[in-house]
Structure 1
Amino acid sequence: MTAHSKLQRLDFNTPALQRKRRLRALKDHLARWYVSIGGLAVLAAITLIFFYLASVVLPMFQGASLERQDARQPAWLAEAGEPLLLAMEEQNQVALRLGRDGHIQFFDTDSGRALSKVALPLPEGSQVVSIGQDVPGSRRVVLGLSNGQALVLEHHYRISYPDNKRLIEPQVTYPFGGQPVSLDEQGRPLEHVAVSQNGSTLLLAASTGNQLHAVRISSTENLLTGESSQEQSELALPQLSEPIKVLLVDPRQMWLYAISGQASADVFDLRQQQLNGRYKLASGQAEVTSVTSLLGGISLLVGDSKGGIGQWFMVRDEHGQSELRNVRNFSLGDSPVTQILPEERRKGFLALDASGTVGIFHSTAHRTLLKESVAEGTAIAALSPRANRLLVESAGKLQGLVIDNPHPEISWSALWGKVWYESYPEPDYVWQSTSANTDFEPKLSLAPLAFGTLKAAFYAMLLAAPLAICAAIYTAYFMAPRLRSKVKPVIELMEALPTVILGFFAGLFLAPFLESHLPGIFSLLLLMPVGIIAAAYGWSRLPESLRLRVPDGWEAALLIPVVLLVGYGSLAVSGYLENWFFGGDMRLWLTNEMGIPFDQRNALVVGLAMGFAVIPTIYSIAEDAVFSVPRSLTLGSLALGATPWQTMTRVVILTASPGIFSALMIGMGRAVGETMIVLMATGNTPIMEANIFQGLRTLAANVAVEMPESEVGSSHYRVLFLAALVLLMFTFVMNTLAELIRQRLRGKYASL
């Protein structure tokens, strides 16, 4: 039987083969659907993560809102005199109203019902002429009287729970005695007064016309008897040429601000008891209409007759002298600003103008959150300690408003731009989310964190990319298959090493080792390429009979002793180099002679440790890309007369360039998202310094460190989510660009 007849008898359509084809088709169909569903699930998961992060972040950028309550017109308000002060306690249940008649009326904020009335111990025949308040949150008030005396008082609210019901009992105390303090010996009315208590020292300031008066009262307690005594001393201050309009004293009792009607401020140094300087507070024809201090007492908020509000504080100039500087400005409207209400727990404030418009602002974020009319004409307002309630008195009525303003300190300029913080000499990028000081304001700039992330990734890629790519090309193209089968798994096995171990090693061993062997490390970086090239040149000059004894592709094994010798020699001469060229201590030489700060845990340590972690990722993908170049291309190039080096540079690398580029992008993503190494191997300092000898903090490390300590729903919490969103967006953009470039490279070199 011929072969042709045997082929004719073969049946490819038997029932068994048909079932096998149907089963294979079903498996292919299921596999296609499985892969498709898996890919869509990954995309859906990433999309859900993005929208979840966005849902947490977006509320930070919403403005404030006011919710009006029913206006009240209690009977006692119609009989009360002109108001000097309106205030509320923390629970928003009890409010205080101080009238010019010297009586304090406590009342219920919801109903307006009178609770209790306190008559102040004013001397007979005297009246309240002026009022001044200490820093926000102190509840300390000073009253200037018509007889040249001043009375200091505090209002407190005692909370008890009889029958499991909260009871708030308001009370007025006199911390320095119920007797007024005499400031003007001639008995003239104190037109303006100011108060500041720093520890056990009270400073009172007042003005009569253009004459300043200041008294410092120190209270001491006898530890044996428990008796307290007071010592009073007057401060000698010069007379001003213009009538004073507002007086303020900073909480450290260093500066006295005397604002005149000509929109200028005379600043007195209370320690030297001399004039620091005169500063213009308003431009053009505007007049100062309202001045108060921001939380902490460092900044002044100055409102003028044109509806503008300026923030001012003392700044040291280039000569070390302090001067009052205008930091930022806000605009409420066209009417004069009549009252500024600083918040007691944040650097925000509310402002009220003569037309009854209220504005909500935040100083540091330079953000205007709300402008809304709350009254008709002139009004006086009180802001609750939690800044969630506003009480307005106007035309014999009390109007309550609920404030919703959860994240005023967040703005794009505060997150990404330079911000001029109080007591800082100039605007700067700062991340400092917590502090032990109650007057502290969070500094939530993401710029130093993003800079630290890119800095760490740059130094890691600077080390990893050349080594990994060159190793991948050599292993896939030049190395013998038997040696490759041993080298590649070993390098890929490095990727399984936990990064926390690398970070632990880098922080506890590598960082101090680098510090003590800096000359040797730099000698190693410089001499290693030279030693390898010299070894290769020497090998090429050996007799061919010797070179042929080494099998083709095993030459790299000869570099092992060269690398070990150069490394040992570089580190061995480190101490000698340090003594010869750097005075025995390279770290001190860098700091003192070159002006380069040096931290033990710095970017150099991160670059070496994280570069070691990134190398296996880049190497594995790039090696597979080079090795997958068709052998026919290599053989064809060699057959046409090209050398192996020419074939590698002009054929192999170009063909594998899409895969090599993908390896670099994936390695970059790994470096950007690395957490444990940068957390343990750096000083974790959020600074913007390109200096390789200084530390850094990355976005990922910052989220890992501070997320467990942040309050859920707070601005700090949401900014950390924004950091995670920035990382996600960066990875998405980088991967998208990488894919576009990879596809373009594939299309360009597909014809090779």
Structure 2
Amino acid sequence: MENRPGMIDNPIPVHDNARSRRFADRLTRRVVTACGVAILLVMLLLFFWLIWVVIPLFSAPGFQNVGETKLDSHSQSVALGTDKVQRWGWRIDQDGRGQFISLEAQNATLPQPTSDQRSQPQSEPTLQLQPQTLLAGPVRAASSADNLTTLLLDNSGNMLLVRPDFSLPQKPEWSFPLGDIPVASGDAGAGQISVAQSAENRWVVALAGTDRITLWQLQPQQPAQNTNLTVSNVNQLLLSPDGGLLFTLSGSQLRVWTLGEGAPSLRDAVTLPRPAKSLALLSGGSSLLVADDRGISQWFDIASADGPHLRRIRDFDGARWQPLLFGEAHRRVFATLSPQGELKLYASKQQGAILTRQLSAGIQRAQFSPEGDGLLVEREGNWQHYRMQNPWPDISWRSLWQKVWYENYPEPDYVWQSTSANDYYQGKYSLVPMVVGTLKAAALAMLFATPLALAAAMYTAWFMSPRLRRWVKPAIEMMGALPSVVIGLIAGLWLAPRLGDKLSGVMLLPLMLAAVLLLCSWGRQKLPPRWRRRWLTEGREVVILLPLLLLTGLFCLWIVPMVEQAIWGQVWADRLSSGYQQRNLLVAGVAMGFALVPLIFTLAEDAIFSVPASQGQGSLALGATQWQTLTRVVLPGASSGIFAALMIGFGRALGETMIVLMATGNTPVTDGGLLQGLRSLAANVAVEMPEAAAGSAHYRILFLSALVLLVFTLVVNTIAEIVRQRLRQRYSQQEVQG
């Protein structure tokens, strides 16, 4: 075939870009997949990081043997202890000699001297400093609550206060707060002694004789003053850390004396069910431990009409009286040591022992380090030093989620009372008030937002004209862009004060609005058909309904409070017997409900609008009214999407922070009503995290609160997303079948 003029011998081929499209599709798919996987990894990383921060709260206490130190004296000690960093240990023996021993040189074997060295004077080894005679023995001793001051008493009745001083960089020394000259008490036969520091440079000493107790007030450069109490057969006595109370035990008779500037007065006299073996005070002096043949019980004061009175609170599971019963200086932790060497560690907010260890037998005395992170045990001729890891003894799942009876509280309760101080303070970390507050605020917000959002969605998607819908739907969705901090600011500063003045009208408003809507619906049916066709055509009913609703709101919020003020002379909030808090659950519910309306409306309206039009048209063609079609055809088809909208709104309410923070007063209570304050998990984290010391119990429990909130919102949002996916799949199948 010949080529005709004008024809091209080699035509230009059309560029085939299928390969580039496939490459772009693969690249896009991989980028999207990588981004999705990265988001999941970030969520998992956040989740496991929170768990990593929280796990140490519930780890078991650690107990490690550091080493053994040989003592150069076989005289039994009457007092011992360590410094804060556990570099030095100190002891005072029965002969009245005080000695400092280096704990850093434990297990160090001193070289044996040669024959030439034996003939030369030997210097004092660095392992133990030369003992110093503090008071001529034999002596008895009693230490203050912090174990920093020790009272020595000899058989002649001479008293001497001594204190180990670790402030010098080279080596520690003994200091004497009242001077190194003993104070003569005249009580040579005192059987029980106790000491407490009541103020700076002021000490209270209690000495129990056969038929009396002598109380001494000791101050530097001041003559000693004493007061006598007639009490016989005292088995044990204890002074509270501040010297304000004196506990005496005489068989099964426990007495509490109040000490002050005047004469001591008997405050409580309790007859125990069985004779007690020993008494001990926990840190702070508010809790008293009473040990008998049956176990160990905790007692503390409960307020009553005639003042505080000592009351038995609880028994420690598995605790038994042992010859050695001692506690920490700064935390409510105590331990028992049996003659066979069984060590059990207890905390005041735990049911049973938190640590059990079997040590070697023959222990004569034991003492915690000042920080509670070490234990010094003395046997005949040697010391055993242990390191302990027990930073948060009071934290357990029980204390976080169950009622706990705290010191001086009238009954067990859920209490959140944190502190920015160190962990010595017994913080009260119940998560129940925040969980209850979170659920209450979210539930009330959903109760407020759900009817408004669903009613608006049904009307917009089914009844409203398309022209008006194009304006109304974006306008409501724009409300969702309003920052929650702005809504919280308006609620806290503007709404809260006015809500109290118009409380009765606000409570009446939902009922009146519903009644007006029902009356308008009933009245529409009663109108003549020609009036309905003229005035209530599609889209015009809004022009009539909105003024009626505005008038109803004006009546409830203006006229009702005026009538109430005229009749009773005060508004309803002032007449409430339980009191009215200006920032309360109602304010938070209204403000959070306003913030949730755009979210629930958008998702619910999309779900209703996405129901296939053929279903609604078929129902109308069969003679059903628009309302019947909506309630019996459209809403069942959109029920999954509406449920997903409500679940997502509920998840949004659970995580709300600023509105709850600014509108509720931040009161961590569980029993508050509609007009009382509350605190949510998110608001609690936002308020207290800046003040929490890093690594403290308070810090980690706030992370636990965040973990609980994260799990809660993830579960709610996951359920909602699963329902939405099923809804989308169901509609896609219906469209394919159609």
Return the TM-score normalized by structure 1. Answer: 0.85
* Partner residue, 1:697: 679
- Tell me if the contact between 2:207 and 2:213 (Cα under 8 Å) persists in the aligned partners: yes
Is 2:424 aligned against 1:415?
Answer: no
The DSSP-based 3-state class of the residue aligned with 2:576 is helix
Distance 2:652 2:158 in 1: 67
The DSSP-based 3-state class of the residue aligned with 2:394 is coil
Deviation track 1:250-275 (CA, whole Å, cap 9, x = no partner) reads 2455542222455x533345577236
Distance 1:228 1:144 in 2: 20
Is 2:99 aligned against 1:117?
Answer: no
Distance 1:216 1:438 in 2: 34
Distance 1:235 1:491 in 2: 81
Distance 2:206 2:358 in 1: 35
Distance 1:559 1:23 in 2: 58
Distance 1:417 1:176 in 2: 51
Give the unaligned 5+ runs of structure 1. Answer: 1-13, 161-165, 220-226
Is 2:205 aligned against 1:204?
Answer: yes
Moved more, 498-507 or 730-739: 730-739
- 1:512 aligned to 497, 504, 512, which one? 497
- 1:139 aligned to 148, 153, 166, which one? 148
- Tell me if the contact between 2:502 and 2:571 (Cα under 8 Å) persists in the aligned partners: no
Superposed displacement of residue 360, structure 1: 2.5
The DSSP-based 3-state class of the residue aligned with 1:114 is coil
The DSSP-based 3-state class of the residue aligned with 2:129 is strand
Task: Call closer, same or farther: CA 1:495–1:361 in 2, change over 3 Å.
Answer: same
- 1:234 aligned to 213, 227, 233, which one? 227
Is 2:195 aligned against 1:195?
Answer: yes
- 1:559 aligned to 531, 545, 555, which one? 545
Distance 1:667 1:348 in 2: 46
Letter in 1 for 2:551: L
Deviation track 1:465-486 (CA, whole Å, cap 9, x = no partner) reads 1111111111111111111111
The DSSP-based 3-state class of the residue aligned with 1:323 is strand
- Tell me if the contact between 1:133 and 1:139 (Cα under 8 Å) persists in the aligned partners: yes
Deviation track 1:439-493 (CA, whole Å, cap 9, x = no partner) reads 6311111111111111111111110111111111111111111111111111111
Letter in 2 for 1:371: T
- Tell me if the contact between 2:648 and 2:720 (Cα under 8 Å) persists in the aligned partners: no
The DSSP-based 3-state class of the residue aligned with 1:429 is coil
* Partner residue, 1:314: 301
Say how many residue pairs are matched: 698
Letter in 2 for 1:534: L
* Partner residue, 1:498: 483
- Tell me if the contact between 2:561 and 2:571 (Cα under 8 Å) persists in the aligned partners: no
- Tell me if the contact between 1:157 and 1:168 (Cα under 8 Å) persists in the aligned partners: no
* Partner residue, 2:239: 249
Distance 2:35 2:420 in 1: 46
Superposed displacement of residue 665, structure 1: 0.6
Letter in 2 for 1:709: E
Is 2:65 aligned against 1:83?
Answer: no
Deviation track 1:486-506 (CA, whole Å, cap 9, x = no partner) reads 111111111111111111111
Taking the TM superposition and a 5 Å limit, the aligned residue runs for 1:522-671 are: 522-550=507-535, 551-580=537-566, 582-591=568-577, 596-671=578-653
Superposed displacement of residue 311, structure 1: 2.2
Return the TM-score normalized by structure 2. Answer: 0.87
Give the unaligned 5+ runs of structure 2. Answer: 1-11, 107-126
Distance 2:447 2:149 in 1: 60
Deviation track 1:541-581 (CA, whole Å, cap 9, x = no partner) reads 44444433344033123222122212222222244344356
Distance 2:179 2:666 in 1: 47
Taking the TM superposition and a 5 Å limit, the aligned residue runs for 1:281-296 are: 288-296=276-284
Superposed displacement of residue 702, structure 1: 1.3
Letter in 2 for 1:100: Q
Deviation track 1:32-63 (CA, whole Å, cap 9, x = no partner) reads 44444433333222222211111111121111
Letter in 2 for 1:299: S
- Tell me if the contact between 1:535 and 1:562 (Cα under 8 Å) persists in the aligned partners: no
Distance 2:203 2:574 in 1: 47
Taking the TM superposition and a 5 Å limit, the aligned residue runs for 1:44-443 are: 44-75=41-72, 77-78=73-74, 81-111=75-105, 113-121=127-135, 127-129=138-140, 131-135=141-145, 137=146, 139-147=148-156, 149=157, 151=159, 153-160=161-168, 166-175=169-178, 178-180=181-183, 182=185, 187-199=187-199, 202-209=203-210, 211-215=211-215, 217=217, 229=222, 232-237=225-230, 239-240=231-232, 243-251=233-241, 253-262=243-252, 265-270=254-259, 273-274=265-266, 276-280=268-272, 288-304=276-292, 308-316=295-303, 322-331=309-318, 336-366=321-351, 368-434=353-419, 440-443=425-428
Distance 1:517 1:231 in 2: 67
Task: Call closer, same or farther: CA 1:488–1:322 in 2, change over 3 Å.
Answer: same
Distance 2:317 2:195 in 1: 27
Letter in 1 for 2:161: L
Task: Call closer, same or farther: CA 1:260–1:355 in 2, change over 3 Å.
Answer: farther
Distance 2:347 2:85 in 1: 23
The DSSP-based 3-state class of the residue aligned with 1:70 is strand
Moved more, 538-547 or 702-711: 538-547
- Tell me if the contact between 2:155 and 2:188 (Cα under 8 Å) persists in the aligned partners: yes
Task: Call closer, same or farther: CA 1:637–1:154 in 2, change over 3 Å.
Answer: farther
Distance 1:497 1:67 in 2: 57
The DSSP-based 3-state class of the residue aligned with 1:548 is helix
The DSSP-based 3-state class of the residue aligned with 2:167 is strand
Deviation track 1:358-413 (CA, whole Å, cap 9, x = no partner) reads 22322124463321123322331121111112111112111111112223221000
Deviation track 1:170-228 (CA, whole Å, cap 9, x = no partner) reads 3222348844353xx6x45111112233336643323224x341425386xxxxxxx96
Task: Call closer, same or farther: CA 1:557–1:28 in 2, change over 3 Å.
Answer: farther
Task: Call closer, same or farther: CA 1:636–1:23 in 2, change over 3 Å.
Answer: farther
Task: Call closer, same or farther: CA 1:202–1:86 in 2, change over 3 Å.
Answer: closer
Superposed displacement of residue 315, structure 1: 2.0
Distance 1:465 1:249 in 2: 62
- Tell me if the contact between 1:528 and 1:566 (Cα under 8 Å) persists in the aligned partners: yes
- Tell me if the contact between 1:214 and 1:235 (Cα under 8 Å) persists in the aligned partners: yes
Task: Call closer, same or farther: CA 1:483–1:47 in 2, change over 3 Å.
Answer: same
Letter in 2 for 1:497: L
Task: Call closer, same or farther: CA 1:460–1:109 in 2, change over 3 Å.
Answer: same
Moved more, 29-38 or 688-697: 29-38
Letter in 2 for 1:174: P
* Partner residue, 2:114: none
Deviation track 1:59-101 (CA, whole Å, cap 9, x = no partner) reads 21111112112312132x23xx221111111121222211122
The DSSP-based 3-state class of the residue aligned with 2:235 is strand
Moved more, 742-751 or 21-30: 742-751
* Partner residue, 2:667: 685
Taking every aligned residue pair, what percent have the same amino acid on both sides? 39
